[in-house]
Chain A
Amino acid sequence: MNERITAQISSHRFLALPFILWAMFFIVLPLFFVLGTGLTNEAGDVTLANLLTVLQSEYLRALGLSVELALISTFICLLLAYPLCLILKAKRDKRGLLVFLLFLLPLWMNSLLTTMAWQTILEKHGLINMFLSYLGLPAVHLINTPAAIIIGMVYNFLPYMVLPLYVSLSRIDESIVEAARDLGANFWRTLRHVLLPLSLPGIVSGCTMVFIPALTTFVISALLGGNKVLLVGNIIEQEFTAAYDWQLGSALSMVLMVFIILNILLEAFTDNGEHRKKGRP
Chain B
Amino acid sequence: MHKELLRLERINKSYDGRKILEDLDLTIHENEFVTLLGPSGCGKTTILRLIGGFERPDSGKIWFDGQDITSLQPEKRQVNTVFQKYSLFSHMDVAENIAFGLKLKGKSRNYIRDKIKYALKLVNLDGYEHARVTQMSGGQQQRIAIARAIVNEPKVLLLDEPLSALDLKLRQNMQRELVKIKRELGITFVFVTHDQEEALSMSDTVVVMNQGWIQQIGTPENVYNEPENAFVADFIGDSNIIDGIMIKDKLVHILGRDIPCINTGFGEEAPVDVQIRPEDIQICAPDQGQFQGIIKQVVFKGTVYDITVLAAGFEWLVQTITGHEQGSEVGLRLAPANIQIMAKPASEDEEAVSDE
Q: State the A residues within 8 Å of B (CB).
A: 173, 175-176, 178-186, 189, 193-194, 197-198, 277-281
Contact = CB atoms under 8 A, between A and B. Distances in A.
Contacts of A173: 85, 87
A198 B104 CA distance: 18
Contacts of A186: 73, 75
A183 B85 CA distance: 16
29 contacts: A175-B84, A175-B85, A178-B83, A178-B87, A179-B83, A179-B88, A180-B89, A181-B53, A181-B74, A182-B74, A182-B75, A182-B79, A182-B80, A183-B80, A183-B101, A183-B104, A184-B104, A185-B75, A186-B73, A194-B89, A197-B91, A198-B89, A198-B91, A277-B132, A278-B90, A278-B132, A278-B135, A280-B132, A281-B132
A276 to B, nearest CB: 11
Given A183-B101, A184-B101, A178 B132 contact: no
Q: Which range contains the number of B residues in contact with the other chain?
A: 20 to 34
A183 B148 contact: yes
Contact of A175 (B83, B104, B148): B83
Given A183-B148, A184-B75, A189-B104, A278 B134 contact: yes
Nearest to B54: A178
Contacts of B104: 183-185, 189
A182 B81 contact: yes
B87 A176 contact: yes
B262 interface: no
B152 interface: yes
Given A178-B74, A183-B148, A280-B130, 4 more contacts: A180-B89, A193-B100, A197-B91, A277-B132
**Most chain A CB atoms below 10 A, which of B80, B84, B91:** B91
B131 interface: yes
Contacts of A280: 93, 130, 132
A281 B131 contact: yes
A155 to B, nearest CB: 33
B78 to A, nearest CB: 10
A176 B79 CA distance: 17
A182 B89 contact: no
A181 B73 contact: yes
Contacts of A181: 53-54, 73-75
Contact of A183 (B53, B93, B152): B152
Contacts of B101: 183-184
A281 B129 CA distance: 11
A279 B132 CA distance: 8
B177 to A, nearest CB: 21
B105 interface: yes
Nearest to B101: A183
Contacts of A178: 52, 54, 74, 81, 83, 87
A180 B89 CA distance: 9
Given A176-B87, A178-B54, A183 B100 contact: yes
A181 B88 CA distance: 13
Given A182-B75, A183-B101, A175 B87 contact: yes
Interface in B51-109: 52-54, 73-75, 79-81, 83-85, 87-91, 93, 100-101, 104-105
Task: Report which residue of A181, A182, A197, A278 has the largest number of chain B beta carbons within 10 angstroms of its beta carbon.
Answer: A182
Nearest to B77: A182
Contacts of B53: 181-182
A178 B104 CA distance: 15
